[in-house]
C-alpha cells in the first residue's frame, strides 16, 4: 500500500492517539539544541551517581546518530494521572513500568507504519533509556516548553506525562517547534522544593532532589536532607503539584489505566506503606512489585526510605518495627533505622543504637 507523506503523517498521529498516547508530534533529527547545556550540567556534578548519563555524548549531541539513516522522530506523550491525589509514592511509579508500556505501543506504531508503506522501515523506539534528549525532541515537535521545574509543560495537559520517541528513516514534515515560554515570572516550583534542588530556573541539582535521593542514590541519604524528605517514600511530585498549569489542566487516570496504583500501594498512606516495606521479605517484594518502576530502588533502598519516613512522621508505636529493622541483613537499612529511632526519642541512647546497627545481623 502506498500513501502520500501528508496522508501518512495525519494517519500516523491518529494511530498514536488510538494506541493511547495523549500527544503526538513530528520533529526533524539533527544537532541537539540543549547538548551544551546538558554538558555544563554534568560538569557541575548535578548528575550525582548517575554516571550513565555521561555515556553516549556524541549521540546525545546529534539525534541522527543513535539510528543510522534516521531523519525524523515521532514524539509522543502519555499522561500518568496528575489529577490523582498526592501520596508517599510519586504518581508515575504507582502502576506498571512506563518503559514497558510505552515501548510496546511505540513498537506497535512502528509496525503500523511499515504496514502502511508496505515495506520495512528502519527505526527504533526510545523511552528514557537511550542516548536521546527526549525533552529537546518534544519541544522541537511542538509538544511544549521547558518549565522552570525542568519538566516539559504542555499548555493543555500540564506536565504529568511520559515522553517517548520513535526514530525512523523517513523524511516527514515536522510540526512547528514550541518556542514560547509560558512560565512568565512564576517561581512556585523553586519556592516549593523542600531541599532547594532547583538552584535556578530550569537547573536541577539532582543530588538534592528527593526523587534522586529516594531512587537513584544507592547509599546513605545525607543526614541534613533526611527530615526534608518528609513522608515521601519513592519519588516526589511537589514541583509539579504547585505548577499552575497542572493545577488547572492535570487530569485523573482513565479507567483501566496501566498506571493505576497496584494493590501493594492502593489506599495506603506513608505510615502504612513504610511499616509494610520494613517488614517485607525479598519474595514478598518481588511479588508485590513485579513490573513496577519501584523495583529500581530495590528492597534495601525502599526500606531505607521507609525508615526515614518513620523517623519524620512515626509514633511510639513504630519503635518496635524500627527496632526489628536494626537486625536487617543490610547495613544501609540498619543505619537509617537507628537514625529514625533517634528521631523518635526511643528509650535507647542514640550511641547505643548506632553501635547496634553496625553489628552483623543475628
Q: Which residues contact 304 (CB under 8 A, 6 or more apart)?
A: 220, 221, 332, 333, 336
Question: How far is residue 223's CA from residue 248's CA, in Å, rounded to a whole number?
Answer: 36
User: pTM of the full predicted structure?
Assistant: 0.93
- Mean residue pLDDT of the chain comes to 94
pLDDT grade for 348, boundaries at 50, 70 and 90:
very low
Measuring CA to CA, which residue among 219, 157, 156, 172 is closest to residue 74?
172
pLDDT tens by residue, 290-308: 999 999 999 999 999 999 9
Say if strands 152-153 and 203-204 run parallel, antiparallel, or are unpaired.
unpaired
The distance between the two most distant Cα atoms of the chain, rounded to a whole number of Å, is 77
Residue 332 confidence (pLDDT): 98
pLDDT tens by residue, 26-77: 999 999 999 999 999 999 999 999 999 999 999 999 999 999 999 999 999 9
pLDDT grade for 7, boundaries at 50, 70 and 90:
confident
What are the extents of the domains in the chain? Answer: 1-256, 262-362
Residue 319 confidence (pLDDT): 95
Residue 360 confidence (pLDDT): 52
Question: How far is residue 77's CA from residue 142's CA, in Å, rounded to a whole number?
Answer: 11
Residues assigned a catalytic role: 128
pLDDT tens by residue, 128-171: 989 999 999 999 999 999 999 999 999 999 999 999 999 999 99
Helices (H), the chain: 5-18, 35-43, 57-61, 98-117, 134-140, 188-192, 210-211, 223-226, 238-241, 244-249, 270-278, 282-288, 298-313, 319-325, 331-343, 350-358
pLDDT at 1 over 50: no
Residue 88 confidence (pLDDT): 98
Amino acid at each position: 500500500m502506498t500513501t502520500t507523506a501528508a496522508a501518512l503523517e495525519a494517519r500516523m498521529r491518529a494511530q498514536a492517539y488510538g494506541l493511547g498516547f495523549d500527544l503526538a508530534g513530528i520533529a526533524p533529527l539533527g544537532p541537539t539544541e540543549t547538548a551544551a547545556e546538558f554538558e555544563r550540567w554534568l560538569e557541575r556534578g548535578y548528575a550525582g551517581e548517575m554516571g550513565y548519563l555521561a555515556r553516549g555524548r556524541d549521540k546525545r549531541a546529534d539525534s541522527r546518530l543513535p539510528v543510522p539513516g534516521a531523519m525524523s522522530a515521532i514524539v509522543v506523550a502519555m499522561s500518568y494521572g496528575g489529577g490523582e491525589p498526592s501520596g508517599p509514592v510519586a504518581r508515575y511509579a504507582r502502576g506498571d513500568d512506563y518503559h514497558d508500556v510505552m515501548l510496546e505501543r511505540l513498537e506497535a506504531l512502528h509496525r503500523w507504519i511499515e504496514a502502511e508503506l508496505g515495506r520495512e522501515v528502519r527505526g527504533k523506539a526510545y523511552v528514557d533509556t537511550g542516548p536521546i534528549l527526549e525533552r529537546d525532541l518534544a519541544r522541537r515537535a511542538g509538544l511544549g516548553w521547558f518549565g522552570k521545574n525542568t519538566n516539559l509543560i504542555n499548555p493543555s495537559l500540564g506536565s504529568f506525562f511520559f515522553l517517548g520517541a520513535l526514530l525512523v528513516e523517513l523524511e516527514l514534515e515536522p510540526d512547528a517547534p514550541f518556542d514560547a515560554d509560558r512560565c512568565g515570572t512564576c517561581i512556585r516550583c523553586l519556592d516549593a522544593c523542600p531541599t532547594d534542588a532547583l538552584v535556578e530556573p530550569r537547573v536541577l541539582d539532582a543530588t538534592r532532589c528527593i526523587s534522586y535521593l529516594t531512587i537513584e542514590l544507592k547509599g546513605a541519604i545525607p543526614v541534613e536532607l533526611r527530615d526534608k524528605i518528609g513522608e515521601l517514600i519513592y519519588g516526589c511530585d511537589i514541583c509539579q503539584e504547585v505548577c499552575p498549569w497542572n493545577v488547572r489542566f492535570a487530569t485523573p487516570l482513565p479507567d483501566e489505566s496501566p498506571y493505576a496504583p497496584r494493590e501493594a500501594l492502593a489506599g495506603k498512606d506513608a505510615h502504612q506503606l513504610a511499616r509494610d516495606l520494613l517488614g517485607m521479605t525479598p519474595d514478598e517484594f518481588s511479588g508485590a512489585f513485579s513490573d513496577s518502576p519501584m523495583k529500581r530502588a530495590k528492597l534495601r533502598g525502599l526500606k531505607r526510605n521507609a525508615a526515614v519516613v518513620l523517623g519524620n512522621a512515626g509514633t511510639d508505636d513504630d519503635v518496635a518495627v524500627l527496632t526489628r529493622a536494626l537486625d536487617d541483613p543490610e547495613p544501609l537499612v540498619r543505619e537509617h533505622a537507628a537514625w529514625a529511632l533517634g528521631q523518635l526519642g526511643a528509650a535507647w541512647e542514640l550511641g547505643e543504637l548506632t553501635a547496634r546497627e553496625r553489628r552483623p545481623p543475628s
